[in-house]
Amino acid sequence: MTTNVLIDPTVPEADRKLVEKIFNDVEAQIGFVPAGLRLYGISPPLLKAFVGTVGYFMAHERLSPRLLALIRYLVSSKAECRFCIEFNAAILMNQGISAEQLQATRAKPDQAPLGEAEKILLKIALAAIDAPESVSEEDIQAAKVQGCSDRDIFDVVAIAASNKAFTHVLRTFKVEDQSVFG
């Protein structure tokens, strides 16, 4: 069931070519333009920044696509953003994770199908969203002992925070599924 979005993400005429190029590039990469991205078309500078951030994480040198998708999936689950939950679940299932594994990971993130270092990074990312002050020096050191760099640790917290903000934008404007913009 689709709700009515609260705003019309009409692209400003002066930025139409820029936004069309960004949307065409996204479609070439993943086969479609997600509705959440279409919403950002209303603000081309934010769209450009958001796509740049997504691009950075898609090409991350050290953090696996599975870890990053699990962070987005779990943060979206806590934020109750149906669009993001379904989008990231599809990505994870394409990576070979079953629906049962996703449900188990939602219930117990420490059971995520990840290696030990990435489980520690996942724990830090989720803690940063739930209770940032709970992230301790011991958590950081545990990640470093597993070979994680300060940048790896920073980046997982940044993607979790970015995803939480994105989910709240989508929920605010009632972007609940891919069909909202036709």
Q: Are 65 and 95 in contact (CB under 8 A)?
A: yes
- pLDDT score of 2: 45
Is 5 among the domain residues? no
Same domain, 55 and 69: no
Q: Are residues 83 and 151 in the same domain?
A: yes
In a domain, 162, yes or no: yes
Claim to verify: residue 49 and residue 73 sit in the same structural domain: no
Residue type, 33: V
81 and 153 share one domain: yes
Total domains in the fold of the chain: 2
Q: Are 162 and 52 spatial neighbours (Cβ–Cβ below 8 Å)?
A: no
Block mean pLDDT (10 aa), the chain, length 182: 75 95 93 91 96 94 97 95 90 95 95 96 97 97 98 98 94 84 68
The reported pLDDT for the residue numbered 83 is: 85
Q: Whose CA is closest to 54, among 79, 25, 75, 82?
A: 25
Flag whether 55 is in a domain. Answer: yes
Query: Alpha helix (H) ranges present in 41-149?
Result: 44-58, 65-79, 82-94, 99-107, 116-130, 137-145
Classify 113 as helix, strand or coil: coil
CATH number at residue 117: 1.20.1290.10
Specify whether 151 is located in the same domain as 69. yes
Q: How would you classify residue 10: left for phi > 0, otherwise alpha for psi between -120 and 50, otherwise beta?
A: beta
Specify if 1 maps to a domain: no
Residue 152 to residue 77: CA distance in whole angstroms: 23
Res 180: pLDDT: 72
Looking at the structure, tell me whether residues 37 and 125 fall in a common domain.
no
Do 135 and 75 share a domain, yes or no? yes
State whether 49 and 129 are in the same domain.
no
pLDDT of residue 70: 98
How many Cβ atoms sit within 10 Å of the Cβ of residue 131? 9
pLDDT at 30: 86
Residues 84 and 135 grouped into a single domain: yes
In a domain, 21, yes or no: yes
Query: Looking at the structure, do residues 121 and 140 belong to the same domain, yes or no?
Result: yes
Residue 4 lies in a domain: no
Q: pTM for the complete prediction?
A: 0.90
Domain that holds residue 19: 13-59
Q: Is residue 177 part of a domain?
A: no
Let me know if residue 3 belongs to a domain.
no
